[in-house]
Chain A
């Protein structure tokens, strides 16, 4: 059995498994709204918002690969540009599902596309995601079209792809830096507030998205020679390694500054992250699985495509823990001491552990993301290459 076939079977099993497991959660969400979620009014954002940042980051990272292909013309990834668009679209769909289900009135959100509050970074998100979605679809259309025509037509489509690719660079920076801005703007939350966060978000997005793509390209590689494949995987591995080191430098900087005065500002929140109740999300899921093991694989086994793909999967998957550790700790501090005891209710607390229903909804979303990719891969000619003239 080929690697691709094994991948297909495994992913479809996951889609069916996650879908079946997650369906009750989705039904609960539609039947009872937000009643069975663990977040409340004092910790208003939870797993779904973290998942949204995670997925939109994966999308932005995948877009970066396509930019490398069509704008910078990097040969190593020239055959996987279309697949990068597909990954970006699938993860964008998942991100929009996650944020949509998190809203109190999801249908009203469509009005934001035409009439957003441009003072609000979240208002900008509606505009930018719409623009991003349209851009991705148009780019994918032309990327497919490019392989179906020859001569002058192909040259003009190439130019269009370069223009669209250049346009998508500031767009990616805007929409993902903007997500960081959604949090960084909140003066009430010292852990989020500051100019670093949008940069950290961008670095994390490019890292996790690029890493995921290394896995995808490994399993569903286009027809290419062994040398070409090796070249592509080594390029993706090196890119991932560079981004991983950059991301860790930024994280270290945040931890250093954040913990310097342990009794002031956000110091105690970092204490919570590093040594609190959920320490394992940082040390085990993020540092061990998401940083140390991939770091070993990407350096010691830098020429092994399988090791690079595994490192990519570990980074991309565990990045949800990074997103959770950005979103949740920011809200753990009461704005006024003692407020949680003033009016007692399960939705008025300062502790958060996602409920089973929240996990179910997330699994369903992941199943949808994988299904969009698998169906897109089947329906669209993303492997077709006509060769450049």
Chain B
């Protein structure tokens, strides 16, 4: 939710947050958005995007404030989502994707909107005709770790489990020193070395290019962790953030209160996962999955929408019209460790 608020702040309209709430309703609760509501959103957004750039910048500063208000609006509506998220009963991931209306395409529009359009287009195709790819522009990455943190929040990652760390390195020697930041999600390789080594066939590559893990099948041998040439898999050791915290019942920051995060379920792979006892995903290998539950509903991965520098792009690499396809074709696009022959689906631009 917070990620969308960021976009709301950027675009400067509360209608976007309403739209998002409707998307949630539409997909999670099966309640369709009324036509009047949709046209209202369209009209407002068209007006917004028709304004001149200078006006936009003016709006932008106000938009930050607007976004904050939008956050308030969204938060007011939050119980709808909270309810859906908390008990999981309202989530229906088996329902096919229902396209939702996006604002009309305009020149110079925000990349997020374009990528959402790309996703919608891709989702209309059969799964085997899509190939999800990610592009990370290292020139834009500021190393803020927002993607890592939002990913951990989205997937309720426990301590020691990380899907997308941001590697920071100083290069050169004084006085010629540079700083490199490199976010490292799972590479979703076309030839993933982690897949054939799994003794339990608990990990495989989906037809759309995403390498997934079946938590119920995984025996926790950690062979895949060793096999990955990018250290992209981590093991869920069953640790909790509140380990060692003091018990302080009925107190604001007691172990029980602080541990609320730990008991919330994650919805990876479109299933409800509660970390309890030694149940999966505890004792399993875990990794980035490009936020499958989000993209299957037409949303962008959490790391893409929370990137403050707009450095992360996502879309269908099989679609020549998509933004990622354009970026991958740039001469300064590259992939990590090409020499190991894994053919990653994640590209970098330097």
Given A45-B226, A188-B228, A117 and B199 contact (CB-CB distance below 8 Å) = yes
Known: A122-B223, A188-B227, A336-B336. A343 touches B235 (CB 8 A): no
Interface size on A, residues (CB 8 A): 50
Known interface pairs A104-B283, A109-B219, A347-B237; A121-B231 also in contact (CB < 8 Å): no
Q: Does A131 contact B (CB under 8 A)?
A: no
- Min CB gap A341→B, angstroms: 7
Contact of B199 among A126, A187, A341, A342 (CB under 8 A): A126
- Closest chain-B Cβ to A54's Cβ sits at a distance in Å of 18
Residue of A nearest to B236 (CB): A104
B160 contacts A by Cβ under 8 Å? yes
Could you tell me if B160 and A40 are in contact, using CB atoms closer than 8 angstroms?
A: yes
Which of B193, B237, B239, B285 has the most C-beta atoms of chain A within 10 angstroms of its own C-beta?
Answer: B237
Is B235 a contact partner of A120 (Cβ separation < 8 A)? no
Counting CB contacts under 8 A, is A222 at the interface? Answer: no
A83-140 interface (Cβ within 8 A of B): 102-106, 108-109, 111-112, 115-117, 119-123, 125-126
B165 near A343 (CB under 8 angstroms)?
A: yes
Q: Is B242's CB within 8 Å of the partner chain A? A: no
B243: A residues at CB distance < 8 A: 35
B229 and A335 within 8 A (CB): yes
A185 located at the interface, meaning its Cβ lies under 8 Å from any Cβ of chain B in the complex: yes
A188, B226: Cβ atoms under 8 Å?
yes
Give the contacting residue for A125; candidates B160, B199, B231; CB below 8 A: B199
Also in contact, A120 and B223, with CB within 8 A (given A185-B197, A337-B169, A348-B162): yes
A119 proximity list for chain B (CB < 8 A): 196-197
User: Is A338 engaged at the interface, CB distance under 8 Å to the other chain?
Assistant: yes
Q: How far is the CA of A116 from the CA of B221 in the complex (A)?
A: 13
Q: Is B300 an interface residue (CB 8 A)?
A: no
Q: A185: nearest residue on chain B (CB-CB)?
A: B197
Q: Does B219 contact A186, Cβ atoms closer than 8 Å?
A: no
Kindly report which residue of chain A lies nearest to residue B234, judged by CB atoms: A41
Partner of B197, one of A104, A122, A338, A347: A122
A173 within 8 A of B: no
B contact residues around A120 at 8 Å (CB): 196-199, 223
Taking a contact as CB atoms closer than 8 A, the residue among A112, A330, A337, A346 that contacts B219 in the complex is: A112
Query: Is B199 within 8 A of A112, CB to CB?
Result: yes
Shortest A334–chain B CB gap in Å is 7
Q: Mark B259-281, 1 if CB is under 8 A from A, else 0.
A: 00000000000000000001010
CB neighbors of B among A29-79 (8 A): 32-35, 37, 40-42, 44-45
Contact of A188 among B166, B229, B236 (CB under 8 A): B229
Residues on the B chain within 8 Å of A338, using CB: 167-169, 182
CA distance A377 to B334 in the complex (A): 63
CB-CB under 8 A from B182, the residues of chain A are 336, 338
User: Nearest residue in B to A36 (C-beta to C-beta)?
Assistant: B237
A104 close to B219 (CB less than 8 A): yes
Contact partners of A33 in chain B: CB under 8 A:
237-238, 278, 282-283
Taking the complex as formed, is A345 at the interface, i.e. its CB lies under 8 A from any CB of chain B?
A: yes
Asked if A242 lies at the interface with its beta carbon under 8 angstroms from chain B, I say no
A112 with B200: CB separation less than 8 A: yes
CB contacts under 8 Å to A, within B160-219, are: 160-162, 165-169, 182, 184, 193, 196-201, 217-219
> Does A347 contact B283, Cβ atoms closer than 8 Å?
no
> Is residue A182 contacting chain B, with contact meaning CB distance below 8 A?
yes
Chain A, residue nearest B282 (CB): A33
B233 at the interface (CB under 8 A from A): yes
Q: A128 to nearest B CB, angstroms?
A: 12
- Once A112-B200, A188-B229, A336-B230 are accepted as A-B contacts, the answer to whether A347 and B239 lie under 8 Å apart by CB is yes
Q: Compute how far the CA of A33 lies from the CA of B340 in the bound complex, rounded to whole angstroms.
A: 34
The minimal Cβ–Cβ distance linking B186 to chain A, given in whole angstroms, is 12
- Other than the known A41-B231, A41-B235, A188-B340, what 7 A-B pairs have Cβ atoms closer than 8 Å? A40-B235, A41-B161, A41-B225, A111-B200, A117-B200, A123-B200, A343-B162
A-B contact pairs, 22 of them (CB 8 A): A33-B282, A34-B235, A34-B238, A35-B238, A37-B237, A44-B235, A45-B222, A104-B220, A104-B235, A105-B283, A105-B284, A109-B200, A112-B219, A116-B199, A120-B196, A126-B199, A342-B165, A342-B168, A343-B165, A345-B159, A347-B234, A347-B237
Interface residues of chain A, those whose CB is within 8 Å of chain B, are 32-35, 37, 40-42, 44-45, 102-106, 108-109, 111-112, 115-117, 119-123, 125-126, 182, 185-189, 330-331, 334-339, 341-343, 345-348
